[in-house]
Structure 1
Amino acid sequence: MATDVTVLARRRPITVARRFYSYVLTGPRRDWVVFALLFAVAAALVSLMFVYPGRFPPVTIAPLILVAGLYLPNRHLVALFVFVAIGLSLVVPRLSLSASTKAVMLTAYSLLMLMMLVVSASRVRVGSVGFHGEDLLVELRDRLARAARIPALPLGWTAESAVLSAHGEGFSGDFMVVEATHGGRHLEVALVDVSGKGREAGTRSLLLSGALGALLGSLAPSAFLNAANSYLVRQGWEEGFATAVHLDINLDTGDYTIGNAGHPAPVRYSNGTGTWQVLESGRGPVLGIMQGVSFPRSSGTLAMGDALMLYSDGIIESRRHDLTEGTDRMLGAASEAMYRRGSVVDAVVSQARSGEADDRAVFSIARR
């Protein structure tokens, strides 16, 4: 049997440093090493504060408490904090401070250690160390944004979109998945509203956006919502329902089909009449409730100057106003934007009935 010498030549030599790193600084051994180092530092600080209470005040141990909360697992963290608490109970009485000040100081350190225990428990659930949990959330949020990025369109087409979360949070229950299909001749868009708002729906949005992104272009448009519904039903989420609208548009001819799963009806702008029309036909049930349901599709053609707009319920719904008023308000803003040749998406979002209280998403495509 022949051996590929080039592969063997590219292998890195196993140095002493690499052996030390792989044996000591990975896995459970790393936790023990970090715990031992932090415990040694804590013992040194407590000793210095006890011997030199004026030169080494108790505040010098606060950074160690923060670092331990970020890098130690709970069992090691509790042991370290018990030692620190005993040390502070011995050091603080030696300070030349009033009794009330000493009590406040011990209370503050107790609350700090309790807070870091809560942070540690949350970090262990994610499985991250240090600040990597925040990096992971940022990467997930950016992945949602990339899925909604509109590809380059042929000459004569313009499209824009916006997704805003409730109260400016990092995650939104509304998301979009956009994909150029059929060699760039078609554009498919799925605008989805997952149950919940903000961070509560963020993880569900991420999981569902990945699945729907894989379906776009892989199935016939007529089968897209059926597959999405089957996937969502299989997840078995307690609040596993979602509304969605799916658009498939032929960029050569302007022909389009739309499937709707319990979502607010899309609207179409006619350049001939200068008005927006609500497309009520082709509506099916929400996603994730039951298997075996059907999702009829409506169809049409965009002529020169026409436009289509998809949006979420946060654009037209509010607790103090009915749905008709919110729809009229949205269409008025969109009509004015078309007349002024401005951004339809910006105009609609700025006039959203829910304001900051709900997630908002809008997609608009026009043929110029």
Structure 2
Amino acid sequence: MTATALATRPARSVTLRRALTRLRRWGHTIENQMAVGLVLFSTTVAVLVTYFPEQTPFTSLMLPVVLGSILLGPRTLPWFVLYDMALLTYCVSQQESITPRTLGATAVQFSIALVVLVTSFRRTRLGVAGLRGETMFVDLRDRILDQGRLPGLPPGWAVESALRSAGGTAFAGDFIVAAEAPDHRSVQIVVVDVSGKGEAAGTRALLLSGAFGGLIGALPADGFLPAANAYLLRQDWDEGFATAIHLWLDLTTGDFEVRTAGHPPAVHRLAGPGRWSVLRTDGPVLGLIDDADFDVARGRLGVGDAVLLYTDGMVEEPRRDIDLGIDRMLGEAESILRGSFVGAAERLATQVGSKDDDRAVLVVHRAG
């Protein structure tokens, strides 16, 4: 490495730090401007309520409080709510006659302000609130989905995936991570089911999707599950386990390897006889046993063949054996995939499985 390159790195680092500092200052400036605007708005409303009571509803002071809960951060919001409550007290004291209805409206407004105040204290743990907090969660959700974005495969190959969360929420405990080899001759795909479901598992799924995304692109096929298991053990979570199924596929020959970690088995469809075969492999759940071994099932995808990976939400239901669930899924898959594999994953995830559990399905098809 040249001296010029070594000198450029610190310069870039300083430039990045300065840019981040300017961004933070800009964010604080915008929030301060919104706070000043809301204070002026609240004051204007208080004046209207005091001097024009016939034209201005007494409850109008709640509008700036609600706007503040959306726009202001957790440091500024409590002071703004207290200021608004002081204005409300002043407006009540200036009323010519205080009726039971006025007292009731005042009590309701104080209750709403108290709820906003308590919420702002809870948001202090996160450090952001309102629209910025929602934007962060949307960004986190999009990053989970981006991790599962499947690489473009060469002509003759088709791969589709679908994710469904319990209750239709945006966060799920199931996710998919994929990586293509630098020489574009093979691809690795892993389908993971984190313990829990819905939003409860979404945070762990986010962390694991990033970690597994780095592992799957840096390790050979037989090294991924042991490394993922070691990573989960280091986290020492109370609910730190996950199941996974890993597929390595040679895009030139069609040879593939499947390994599972406490996960439902993959299924392989042979185009000739049109039969599905279950690829059973053994391996413990990730995050429970140190130095675990994971068996491998090998096969080859010929023209027209397909392999299907899925999570337990596709085949498990209360009081039903998982083998019966697999048989039902394969029966649906045979009718859904007959004639065309386009949209196969979406159709399977929609029509098969438990609506009360997260579901993920991935279909790899060799078209020609």
- The reply to whether TM is greater than 0.5 is yes
Tell me if 1:120 matches 2:113. Answer: no
Give the C-alpha shift of residue 320 in structure 1.
Answer: 4.2
Equivalent in the alignment of 2:365: 366
SS of the aligned residue for 1:125 comes to: coil
Q: Deviations over 1:35-61 (max 9, x none)?
A: 666556545543442333224433332
Q: How many residues of Structure 1 are paired with residues of Structure 2 in the alignment?
A: 350
CA contact (8 A) 2:74 2:129 kept: no
Change in CA separation of 1:276 and 1:122 when aligned onto 2, cut-off 3 Å? farther
Tell me the CA shift for residue 345 of structure 1. 1.9
Aligned to 2:152: 152
TM-score, normalisation: structure 2 = 0.84
Distance 1:346 1:35, change over 3 A: closer
Which stretch has the larger CA shift, 286-295 or 256-265? 286-295
**Distance in 2 between residues matched to 1:76 and 1:251, nearest whole Å:** 56
1:337 equivalenced with 2:331 (yes/no): no
Residue identity matched to 2:365 = A
Query: How far did 1:204 drift?
Result: 0.9
User: 1:258 Cα shift?
Assistant: 1.1
**Secondary structure at 1:340's aligned position in 2?**
coil
SS at match of 2:121: helix
Give the RMSD, CA atoms, in angstroms: 3.1
Distance (whole Å) between structure 1 residues aligned to residue 97 and residue 301 of structure 2: 79
Matches of 2:274 and 2:35, distance apart in 1: 70
- Mapped to 1, the partners of 2:78 and 2:110 lie a distance apart of 12
Paired with 1:72 and 1:347, the residues of 2 have a C-alpha distance of 43
Confirm or deny: 8 A CA contact 1:53 1:94 kept in the other structure: no
Q: Deviations over 1:116-151 (max 9, x none)?
A: 224423433222254111111111111111221222
CA positional deviation for 1:296 = 2.1
Whether 1:314 and 2:339 are equivalent positions in the alignment is no
Q: Is the 8 A contact 1:245 1:310 kept in 2?
A: yes
Gaps of 5+ in 1: 12-20
Q: Distance in 1 between matches of 2:303 and 2:219?
A: 29
Distance 1:43 1:367, change over 3 A: closer
Note if contact 2:78-2:120 (Cα within 8 Å) is conserved in structure 1: no
Structure 2, unmatched stretches of 5+, are 16-21
In structure 1, distance between residues paired with 2:24 and 2:309: 55
Q: 1:22 to 1:322 in 2, by over 3 A?
A: closer
Which residues in structure 2 correspond to 1:107-256 (within 5 Å)? 107-256=107-256
d(CA) in 1 for partners of 2:182, 2:52: 76
Structure 1's 252 and 76: CA in aligned 2 closer, same or farther, altered over 3 A? closer
> Would you say the 8 A contact 2:266–2:308 is kept in 1?
yes
How many percent identity over aligned positions?
Answer: 37
Amino acid at match of 1:132: R
Structure 1 window deviating more from structure 2 (236-245 vs 272-281): it is 272-281
Q: Kindly indicate whether the alpha-carbon contact (under 8 Å) linking 2:59 and 2:105 is maintained by their aligned counterparts in 1.
A: no
Matches of 2:362 and 2:256, distance apart in 1: 15
Q: Which moved more, 1:50-59 or 1:138-147?
A: 50-59
Change (3 A) 1:330 1:30: closer
Moved more, 256-265 or 59-68: 59-68
Tell me how far apart the structure 1 counterparts of residues 155 and 263 of structure 2 sit (CA, whole Å).
30
Structure 2 distance, partners of 1:159, 1:25, is: 44
In 2, Cα distance between equivalents of 1:297 and 1:65: 60
Summarize deviations over 1:59-87 as a string: whole Å, max 9, x none: 33223212333455556544443443344
Kindly tell me: are residues 154 and 44 of structure 1, through their superposed partners in 2, closer, same or farther at Cα, counting changes over 3 Å?
A: closer
TM-score under structure 1 length normalisation: 0.84
Kindly provide the CA deviation profile for residues 304-341 of structure 1, in whole angstroms up to 9, marking residues without a partner as x: 22111000000011114332221111000111233332
Residues 2-35 of structure 1: per-residue CA shift (max 9 Å, x gap): 999xx9xxx9xxxxxxxxx9998776x9878866
Q: Give the stretch that moved more between structures: 326-335 or 44-53.
A: 44-53
| 1:154-182 deviations in Å (ceiling 9; x for gaps) | 12111111011111101111000112114
Single out whichever of 194-203 and 320-329 deviates more from structure 2.
320-329
Separation in structure 2 between the aligned mates of residue 275 and residue 42 of structure 1, nearest angstrom: 70
Deviates more, 1:331-340 or 1:265-274: 331-340
| Alignment partners' CA distance in 1, 2:24 and 2:224 | 49
Question: 2:245 matched to 1:267?
Answer: no
**Structure 1 residues 228, 220: closer, same or farther in 2, change over 3 A?**
same
**Distance 1:108-1:320 versus aligned 2 partners, 3 A rule:** farther
Aligned residue for 1:15? Answer: none
Contact 2:50 2:95 in 1 (8 A): no
2:290 aligns with 291
Q: Distance in 2 between matches of 1:148 and 1:76?
A: 38
